[in-house]
Amino acid sequence: QKEVEQNSGPLSVPEGAIASLNCTYSDRVSQSFFWYRQYSGKSPELIMSIYSNGDKEDGRFTAQLNKASQYVSLLIRDSQPSDSATYLCAVNEYNFGNEKLTFGTGTRLTIIP
């Protein structure tokens, strides 16, 4: 069973600061990496995808991927109270042609006004 590990938190960050969320994965051949945001009782929504080593920026969000270290992170700049949610890391898992996503258990982020 391939694993995706996240610190469950809660992670508390002051409003306006940078929130840093981390994820490690065990499958060395994984190629697709996603960050989902999930508000309590709601469905996950995709906020970032990354496929290549390095940084990918979208507005206040930056995803960072390091395949050699099997590490993917999400930075949220200028954190807002509306960013308070659980963030799920998802990594593709090769399974003899039936590739699928494996999700971490999520990190709960709280932005303190």
Partner 1 sequence: DADVTQTPRNRITKTGKRIMLECSQTKGHDRMYWYRQDPGLGLRLIYYSFDVKDINKGEISDGYSVSRQAQAKFSLSLESAIPNQTALYFCATSDSGLYLVDEQFFGPGTRLTVL
Interface residue list for partner 1 (CB under 8 A): 1, 8, 31-32, 34, 41-46, 49, 51, 88, 90, 92, 98-106
In single-letter form, the type of residue at position 13 comes to V
Question: 4 with 100: CB under 8 angstroms?
Answer: no
Phi, psi (degrees; rounded to nearest 5) at 83? -80, -10
Nearer to partner 1, 74 or 90 (CB): 90
Q: What is the smallest separation between the CB atom of 1 and partner 1, expressed in angstroms? A: 7
- Give 61 or 103: the residue with its C-beta nearer to partner 1: 103
Nearer to partner 1, 73 or 108 (CB): 108
Cβ of residue 38: shortest distance to partner 1, in angstroms? 9
In order of 17, 33, 96, the CA distances from 59 in angstroms are 15, 18, 36
Instruction: List the structure tokens of 70.
Output: 């099997």
